[in-house]
Structure 1
Amino acid sequence: MSKPPYVIEKGQTGFELELIQQLLAAMGKAPEFIFIPYGRSEKMLALPDIDAVMTVNEKIFPNSHHLSKSYISYENVAISMKKNAISLNSVAELANYSIAAFQLAHKALGQEFSTAVTNSSTYIQVADQEKQVELLLLGRVDIVIMDTKIFLHFFNKLNKQNQQNKTLKQSDIQIHHIFPLSPYQVAFKSSKDVELFNNALIAFKKSNKYQNLVEKYNF
């Protein structure tokens, strides 16, 4: 499913999607993308017509022989409304709040996070990340867990659409940097494709095409 500005299903654009397209083209492959809820990612590689799965890590696919090198990092954070005066100094403190996270967050963000949200009064994982932002703005949850760029994209979109929220500013939002950067990889069905992808990644990051892509999406 769409995760602007990383993956935009309409038109098949976005920084991450276009990066993957370029890397696979360098491998001599023409990708056909299938857009699914993130929660289904770990099951997809077992399907006969799927060759690879994007935006995963060793916590989702433990078999490291089928994982590429990291090609992108997300800045996953905890986000609250500043008016609620929530102070977060550690992942463990999330147990004190109601939370909406992205699918598979309990795996992607590690054991400390998984333990904390198990003890939370309310913890839900949402397939549509725009809904996460809506839940926060409506006061249905205290905190959302998501990437900063994805949050700001949907926050700005909802502000334009919703007159009630139009007075909100980014300064009304509190971002809690309690997680390290989340590097993501591609899981390939064929281990041969892993080596080809890694080599293409090294070469592409040295190219002008990569710099153009970074500038296009302000990464």
Structure 2
Amino acid sequence: MFAAPLRAAEVSMAFGEKIPPFCFPSSNSGIELEVMREALAFKGHQLKPRYFPFARIPVAFRDGTVDAAMTDLGQDMSAAGAQYGEPAVMYDNVFISLSRRQLKILKPADLNGLSVVSFVGAIKRYPEWLEPVRRAGRYVEINDQSAQVKTLMLGRYDVVLSDRNIFKYFALQLKREGVALQPVDETPFVKLNPQDYRPLFRDPQVRDDFNQGLKQLKESGRLQAIYDKYLKE
């Protein structure tokens, strides 16, 4: 049994708008929501999620609209009072292609002649890889990431750029609807850095309590159970 917290708090936290399976604003659920909520609850804190367009998340923290944020979007927010926590979830962007195509994508030039569909904003993050594809007229960004799975299966695009868990989630949804899916290959193309996905808090004590709760989720197997809830067949 855990001791009662000395100072439980309501923690308003900025999340991105609708990022299945990480955030579902309509039900305040999703992998990221549940991990954050349970890690904070370990010491009695209560999560109050607030949803923003991605670009607004660091702004909402900086201007005091929220007490915490899921990400700093690559901006060092220390000067704005950010106390960085341990990474709870990570977005692992990979190139995904049909296995039967046997595509080898090891360097940007390997995308020459291929069409690529990606999430909105990817070209700003990976210009070295994607700008040549855009200039060739073979690059498209779409908001509906379920459409990425469908169009890849139909052969309308050669390559999808997506977080591997987001792609897997939508593929599972299609499979449950009876859609026949082809095997795919995933190709990592940038080194995953966990420090890119650290949540930030205004209160250092809340940050410390969150870190302890996250550690407990990992050690107990609860973190994996939350992932499995959304991603296991």
TM-score by length of structure 1 reads 0.72
Q: CA deviation at 1:151?
A: 0.7
**Is 1:115 aligned to residue 128 of structure 2?**
yes
1:71 corresponds to: 88
Q: CA deviation at 1:116?
A: 1.8
2:3 corresponds to: none
Paired residues of 1:23 and 1:197 also in contact (CA < 8 A): yes
1:147 to 156, 160, 163: 163
1:176 corresponds to: 187
Paired residues of 1:61 and 1:187 also in contact (CA < 8 A): no
2:199 to 179, 186, 189: 186
Q: CA deviation at 1:91?
A: 5.1
1:24 to 40, 59, 63: 40
**Equivalent residue of 2:90, what SS?**
strand
2:145 corresponds to: 129
Paired residues of 1:79 and 1:175 also in contact (CA < 8 A): yes
Structure 1: any 5+ residue segments left out of the alignment? none
Q: Which sits farther off after the overlay, 195-204 or 15-24? A: 195-204
**Equivalent residue of 1:152, what SS?**
helix
CA–CA distance in structure 1, aligned partners of residues 77 and 208 of structure 2 = 15
Q: Cα deviation per residue 1:96-149 (whole Å; 9 max; x = unaligned)?
A: 533332344456x6xxx3322122234444333223334434544332211222
Paired residues of 1:39 and 1:127 also in contact (CA < 8 A): no
**Is 1:7 aligned to residue 27 of structure 2?**
no
1:90 to 92, 101, 107: 107
- CA RMSD in angstroms comes to 3.4
Q: CA deviation at 1:40?
A: 4.0
Residue identity in the other structure for 1:200: G
